[in-house]
Structure 1
Amino acid sequence: MSRASGGELAVFVTEPCVAKVHGPEFAYYRDGRLVSGISFESPSYGVGTEPELLAPALTAAGLIGPDAEIDLDDDEERQVRAISDFFGLPELDLSETELADPDLVDPE
C-alpha cells in the first residue's frame, strides 16, 4: 500500500472551543503529517516535525523573540498575516471571526 505524496494543507482554526479554553491555532501538514503548528496564545512554542519552521516569520513580525511586541490588540491578526505571507497564502478574511476587530465588525 502506498501513500499519495505531494499534498499540503494549511489550517487556521480561528473560532476554537471557547468553553474548553482553546485559543486560535495554525497547523501545516505535508503528505498527511503535521510539519509545524502553533497556538496563537503561545506562538514561541511550535509543534510538529519542524516546530521552528514559522519562527523567522513570527520574529520578523515582532511576535516572538527578544524584540517582540506582544499583548497588542492586533497580535492574532499579525500572526495570521505573518503565516499567510510566509506560505504565500491568499489574504484570510477575518471579518466574520472572533479574530476580527470588534469595532470593525458590522453588527447586522
Structure 2
Amino acid sequence: MYDGIIIICKEPGYTSFDVVAKLRGILRQKKIGHTGTLDPSAEGVLPVCLGTAAKMCEFLAGETKTYEAVLLLGRTTDTQDTDGRILSEKPVSCSVEEIRRTALSFQGEQLQVPPMYSALK
C-alpha cells in the first residue's frame, strides 16, 4: 500500500472519479481520494491522496485555488459550457480594455449560481 500525495495533470475528457478509478487499478489500492472535483472538460492539477494521506483530502480541498480560463464570447449552448449543443452564435465586438476591466471586476471572492450541469454536488 502506498501513502502520500501525488499530483495528476488531469486531461479534458476524464472525470476526477475516472482518474481515481484508474489509479486504484494501476496501484492495486483501495484507499485513494482526490481533493476536489474538476469538470470533465477541465484540464488541471488534481492532487490525489493515497493510503493514510487520504485523511488530508478534506483539508486540502479547502485551500485557495487559482484558475486560468480561455473565453469564447457570443456563443450560447444548452449546457452553459463548450460541451453542449450550440443554440446561438453572434459576433461580439469589444476592446481589449473592456475585457481587461471586466476581468478585473471578477477578482476576489465571487458568489454565483453554478451552471445547470456542474461537478458540484
Per the shorter chain, which TM-score range? under 0.3
Answer 1 or 2: higher relative contact order, Cα 8 Å, separation at least 6: 2
Structure with larger Rg: 2
| TM-score of the superposed pair, with normalisation by structure 1 | 0.26
User: Which one has the bigger helix percentage?
Assistant: 2
